[in-house]
Amino acid sequence: MRSALLCALMLGGCSAFDAHSFDRSAGWRAAQVVSIGKMGELAATADRDCGADGGAAAPYAVVRYRNGGVHTRSIGTGRWPAAAELKVGDAVEVNILDCAAPLALAAPAGQSGSSSGTPSR
């Protein structure tokens, strides 16, 4: 009984660790900004390039996310909420299924629901 409970807690803990306010089945993943610059300079550094409006000189961010397991992947994009000033280390949500979806600012720890510029659930 004890080992079964411990096993269930460990498995539940892994899934709870990766639980977010965004719908994972719709492609949303928690991510972190790892670099910010111009698209022409950073697009080749991302595992997947989702582009930017405005060409090579457009603002661009590369974010890292986990898609299950221990390995991370990166997506580069120039799409994020208007008036948002991203910094390296910022927590965001990225949609790995829809390149046209802008990054969403992650809610600060301890807050539930979505913050300004984030998609509705």
Query: Residue 114 falls within a domain, yes or no?
Result: no
Vertex 87, ends 85 and 88: CA angle to 5°?
160
Report yes or no: 44 and 98 within 8 Å, Cβ to Cβ: no
Query: Residue 116 falls within a domain, yes or no?
Result: no
Average pLDDT over residues 39-68: 93
Instruction: Decide if pLDDT at 19 tops 80.
Output: no
Report yes or no: 47 and 73 within 8 Å, Cβ to Cβ: yes
Query: Residue 118 falls within a domain, yes or no?
Result: no
Residue 74, domain extent: 2-105
Instruction: Decide if pLDDT at 13 tops 70.
Output: no
Query: Residue 23 falls within a domain, yes or no?
Result: yes
The DSSP annotation for 37-60 comes to EEHHHHGGGSSEE---TTGGGSEE
Query: Residue 113 falls within a domain, yes or no?
Result: no
Contacts with 44 (C-beta within 8 Å, 6 or more apart), sequence order: none
Query: Residue 71 falls within a domain, yes or no?
Result: yes
pLDDT band at residue 2, thresholds of 50, 70 and 90? very low
| Cβ contacts of 4-9, under 8 Å, gap ≥ 24 | none
Q: Per mean pLDDT, which range of 19-28, 52-61, 71-80 is the poorest?
A: 19-28
| Residue of 61, 87, 58, 56 whose CA lies nearest to 74 | 61
pLDDT band at residue 109, thresholds of 50, 70 and 90? low
Query: Residue 120 falls within a domain, yes or no?
Result: no
Number of structural domains in the chain? 1
Query: Residue 78 falls within a domain, yes or no?
Result: yes
